[in-house]
Structure 1
Amino acid sequence: MVEVVDLRKSFGSGPTAVHALRGVSFTVRRGELTALKGRSGSGKTTLLNLVGGLDRPSGGQIRIDGRDLAELGEDGLLELRRDRIGFVFQSFGLLPILTAAENVGVPMRLCRTPVAEREERVRELLALVGLADHAQQRPGELSGGQQQRVAIARALANRPELIIADEPTGQLDSDTGRSVMRLLRAVVRSEGVTALVATHDPTLMELADRVLDLRDGQIVSD
């Protein structure tokens, strides 16, 4: 599903350049949950941004389901992010004025999904993440764990093939984090998606199919 070859990313130039990624190569098989671990500053977020088409590499190659991201223009990357990749962020990224149901429905509105189909998918996803009874509550009325569950449901809205999650339990206590991680593992299985998750959480590492260890911009173990 994901193939990364000799990926490099630098910020700045000359002697002051910061080399965030230094020749990273790995693959993620379809239907696999891969955890990406590493200390702060190791390059995890940079790597996820590149794989998700949110940034361009300085060198190397990224293929998503056989498509070379370097060959896609901005419109192509936008379509990829909208239709084939779901994102889950540490800060949840929910719109505070919208209800849980409305937040989950946002990606489908952007794709002009028919109203009846959209509403049915929203109900299905909120039930999947255990929030069917919280559909009309706004983010400020939900706990951190509940907000992250809404974010996971939203990431699944357009039936993506790949989920990219950056420290999804970073703002949660350990018990809530474990609950969210188990949910993510269950969702990968039930929805048949592939997931690449940056995390410090040992619970996810135990639940993952594989763990990639990133240090100083390089994969040191797989």
Structure 2
Amino acid sequence: MKQQVTDNGTERAPGEGGPLVTVDGLRKVYRTGPKEVVALHDVSFAAYPGELIAVRGRSGSGKTTLLNLVGGLDRPDGGHVVVAGHPVTEMPETALLELRRDVIGFIFQSFGLVPVLSAAENVGIPLRLARTPVAEREERVSMLLSMVGLEKHANQRPYELSGGQQQRVAVARALANRPRLLVADEPTGQLDSQTGRQIMQLLRAVVRSEGVTALVATHDPSLITLADRVLELHDGTFLPPPTP
């Protein structure tokens, strides 16, 4: 179901219930000596369970900064982020580590796979960190590799896989601990257009089947149509939604 826009321009997400992610008045400033660069200014939005949101904008518009703040990888200079009831912007680092382990899954442009480990071993890393029992871990890894279409490649290492296959492994790894939020920063940036679209379609299918929320930063206009909603950043601020 596509995103609806109310008469006053606010977004109404598909599905029922409250938002999984709430961002209110977010601001981030980078300082180099006396120079200041405002990366985000007064950014606010909500994201709901089962919703895939594409965050669009030119390079330098603030997409990565926004995702890093929502995912608790960086601290803002103002504003608040709440994920699954957790006040991300106020939490100590130890609590953020647990949040990133248990609630948020990350997918990066560079894949981030461990080269000496097989596909199955890469997917199982979060489960090992969570000390999941071996039998349960192996069952979950097998299911996830099947979900992303790589059940026959479980024992191959990253260098034996194509770029698209490596990103599928990264998607499976991000889902290992059953996160409620997926944060994907340009996940198709290193892939050709056809493979990139396949990865975006996979993410959309995962959102539906797993009931998670996904924030996906992308500059590829061909992928935007696969999202439930598009938020466009321009110089650190969201552009208003188009008039219906």
| Shorter-chain TM-score range | over 0.9
Cα displacement (A) at 1:221: 3.0
Matches within 5 A, 1:20-35: 20-35=39-54
Cα displacement (A) at 1:204: 2.7
Aligned counterparts of 2:216 and 2:223: Cα–Cα separation in 1: 9
Partner of 1:155: 174
Aligned counterparts of 2:55 and 2:240: Cα–Cα separation in 1: 10
Moved more, 79-88 or 69-78: 69-78
Partner of 1:92: 111
Moved more, 196-205 or 137-146: 196-205
Contact 2:72/2:89, CA 8 A, preserved across alignment? no
Equivalent of 2:227 in 205, 208, 212: 208
Partner of 2:3: none
Aligned counterparts of 1:195 and 1:139: Cα–Cα separation in 2: 25
Q: Secondary structure at the match of 1:207?
A: coil
Matches within 5 A, 1:101-180: 101-180=120-199
Write 1 or 2 for the structure with the bigger share of helix: 1
State the percentage of identical aligned residues: 69
Cα displacement (A) at 1:71: 2.7
Aligned counterparts of 2:208 and 2:77: Cα–Cα separation in 1: 34
Aligned counterparts of 2:209 and 2:73: Cα–Cα separation in 1: 27
Aligned counterparts of 2:102 and 2:198: Cα–Cα separation in 1: 27
Contact 1:181/1:203, CA 8 A, preserved across alignment? no
The residue type paired with residue 143 of structure 1 is S
Aligned counterparts of 2:99 and 2:161: Cα–Cα separation in 1: 30
Cα displacement (A) at 1:39: 0.1
Moved more, 67-76 or 38-47: 67-76
Cα displacement (A) at 1:205: 1.1
Cα displacement (A) at 1:67: 1.9
Aligned counterparts of 1:42 and 1:200: Cα–Cα separation in 2: 10
Unaligned runs of 5+ in 1: none
The residue type paired with residue 3 of structure 1 is T
Residues matched between the structures, number: 222
Cα displacement (A) at 1:161: 0.1
Partner of 2:56: 37
Q: Secondary structure at the match of 1:39?
A: coil
Equivalent of 1:195 in 214, 221, 226: 214
Unaligned runs of 5+ in 2: 1-19
Partner of 2:28: 9
Aligned counterparts of 2:212 and 2:60: Cα–Cα separation in 1: 28
Cα displacement (A) at 1:13: 6.8
Q: Secondary structure at the match of 2:149?
A: coil
1:48 is aligned to 2:67 = yes
Q: Secondary structure at the match of 1:212?
A: strand
The residue type paired with residue 139 of structure 1 is P
Q: Please list the CA deviations of residues 29-67 of structure 1 after superposition, one character each: whole Å capped at 9, or x if unmatched.
A: 111000000000000000000000000000001011222
Moved more, 137-146 or 9-18: 9-18
Q: Secondary structure at the match of 1:17?
A: strand
Contact 2:25/2:80, CA 8 A, preserved across alignment? yes
1:65 is aligned to 2:84 = yes
